[in-house]
Structure 1
Amino acid sequence: MGIARRDGWIHTGDAGYLNEQGYLFICDRIKDVIITGGEKIFPAEVENVVSSFPSVHECAVIGIPDDDWGERTICPLVPKSGANVDVTALYAYFDTRLSIAVSVRYPPFWFST
């Protein structure tokens, strides 16, 4: 995968900031569409579906550069307190709620607590 790096930073198309402790906070997207394999993915649409899953507290859909697809999506998420996210059930959940183009290429998840 070709990562767009400049001056030691990965350029994802997201807007964020580092706080005093050095933690990165993603606030917004510079652009509101991710194009992967010629298909348009709207992060807000996917985030609404993933966030409505019962054990998910919050998430963000992020586009990263990809040599084959142009961009690829990743979705870091935070489970609700004390909850375990069943990834198989989550995939089945959004397969019934999102277009095939989004579902087929949907990324692995990064879990955060």
Structure 2
Amino acid sequence: MAGLCLQQGEVAISLGTSDTVLVSVSQYTPALEGHIFRNPVDLNAFMGMLCFKNGSFTRDRIRRAIGASDWESFAEILSKTPPGNNGNIGFYFDDNEIVPNVSRGDYRF
């Protein structure tokens, strides 16, 4: 958070083994779905953090499932898909997810 110099209302996303969303907020509003900390660079603000368990391992599984050997191949396949993916969307959870509380599985709509 400190190295990003996030301002009020800005969001940072870290894509890793687990994925994390950080946001600078003006009010302390505790919630069961995430964490609220004192903002390390603005003592009058707070830092909201959400962590998602299904990150890079799940993305890698989907990449391999569509036949992409690397991320360049994945990007090429993706570039040939029309915007909106013809109305198809999917949520993929290799493990039970923390936020939202969802059982493992592939959910396609």
TM over 0.5: no
| TM-score, normalising length: structure 1 | 0.29
Larger radius of gyration: 2
| Structure with higher strand content | 1
